[in-house]
């Protein structure tokens, strides 16, 4: 596949509709953007219930990761979960398919992609990069064809290389990270970073325009962040913030 062909292919797979859940004029403190990466999925249903109860719509970055159910996150067993999120007005973007990590470029139009779990490593060329970013969206659309997908992507761990950024741009996608205050810390050790400290920090420090990041559960965290998520959301709403999905151009 040529670079132009790859870009055209991914563009067809990722047509973005207007983002749902955009704020009205009553957001006195401004708008914040909650994003959720796939993760282990252990608290997924509970987190989804909290978002629905608090009328929060998020931008969901999806990858085909192993989950607590024994099935990968974009497998048939998760189909109903993703369809429910589509119906609630959440929007989606690519988090890569394999959720490996970018570990340096290997020359023009080539970047190293390495498994943290010992599955190996590859060098992605332009066509392979576009395919890696398009696959999770194809899997999502197979079970939830009405999903609104933004022309954005997020590298696992937020770790990019200059080459990966350029190659993804050639696929029609802009990288979306998160802001410093928006790092909610749910992937940290709950002993070193207890929920109480994380929640207080978020409610105190988040400012208008922040892009916040969390997961649908983290396997290694003993005290799940879901235990304080509603408190964080209500605290920010009490400060006058509204939550919205990311615009197609990102932040």
In a domain, residue 134? The reply is yes
Whether the per-residue pLDDT at 22 is higher than 80: the answer is: no
- The model's confidence at residue 18, banded by pLDDT at 50, 70 and 90, is very low
**H or E element in which residue 50 lies:** helix 44-53
87 CA to centre of own chain = 18
Please tell me the predicted confidence (pLDDT) of residue 3: 42
Q: Is 136 among the domain residues? A: yes
CB atoms within 10 A of CB 208: 13
Q: At residue 19, does pLDDT exceed 70?
A: no
Whether residue 18 lies inside any domain: the answer is: no
Residue 9 lies in a domain: no
Given this model, what pLDDT does residue 102 score? 98
11 in any annotated domain: no
pLDDT digits (tens, 9 = 90+) for 43-92: 999 999 999 999 999 999 999 999 999 999 999 999 999 999 999 999 99
Does residue 121 or residue 16 have the better pLDDT? 121
Give 15's pLDDT tier (boundaries 50, 70, 90). very low
Number of domains forming the structure of the chain? 1
Report whether pLDDT(106) > 50: yes
* 158: CATH: 3.20.20.370
Mean pLDDT score of the chain: 92
Residue 80 φ/ψ, nearest 5 degrees: -65, -35
Give me the pLDDT at residue 117, please. 86
The tens digit of pLDDT for each residue in 167-223 reads: 999 999 999 999 999 999 999 999 999 999 999 999 999 999 999 999 999 999 999
In a domain, residue 128? The reply is yes
Helices and strands in the chain, H and E counts: 7, 10
Domain membership flag for residue 162: yes
The answer to the question of residue 58 being in a domain is yes
In the predicted model, is pLDDT for residue 10 greater than 70? no
Q: Which domain holds residue 56?
A: 27-243
DSSP H or E run through 152 = strand 149-153
Q: Which residue has the higher pLDDT, 18 or 140?
A: 140
| Long-range contact set of residues 100-104: C-beta below 8 Å, sequence gap at least 24 | 100/156, 101/155, 101/156, 101/157, 101/159, 102/155, 102/156, 102/159, 102/160, 102/161, 102/164, 103/161, 104/161
Percent of the chain with pLDDT over 90: 88
């Amino acid at each position: 596949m040529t670079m132009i062909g790859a870009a055209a292919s991914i563009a067809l797979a990722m047509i973005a509709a207007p983002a749902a859940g955009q704020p009205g004029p009553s957001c006195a403190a401004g708008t914040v953007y909650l994003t959720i990466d796939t993760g282990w999925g252990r608290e997924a249903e509970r987190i989804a219930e909290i978002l629905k109860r608090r009328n929060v719509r998020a931008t969901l970055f999806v990858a085909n990761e192993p989950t607590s159910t024994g099935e990968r996150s974009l497998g048939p067993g998760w189909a109903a979960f993703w369809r429910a999120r589509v119906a609630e007005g959440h929007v989606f973007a690519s988090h890569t398919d394999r959720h490996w990590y970018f570990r340096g470029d290997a020359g023009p139009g080539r970047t190293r992609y390495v498994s943290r779990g010992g599955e190996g490593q590859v060098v992605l060329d332009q066509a392979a990069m576009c395919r890696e970013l398009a696959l999770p969206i194809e899997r999502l659309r197979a079970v939830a064809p009405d999903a609104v997908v933004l022309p954005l992507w997020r590298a696992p761990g937020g770790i990019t290389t200059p080459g990966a950024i350029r190659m993804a741009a050639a696929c029609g996608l802009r990288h979306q990270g998160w802001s410093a205050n928006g790092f909610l810390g749910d992937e940290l050790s709950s002993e070193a970073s207890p929920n109480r400290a994380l929640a207080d920090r978020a409610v105190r420090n988040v400012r208008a325009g922040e892009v916040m990041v969390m997961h649908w559960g983290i396997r290694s965290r003993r005290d799940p962040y879901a235990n304080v998520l509603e408190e964080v959301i209500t605290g920010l709403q009490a400060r006058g913030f509204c939550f919205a999905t990311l615009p197609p151009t990102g932040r």
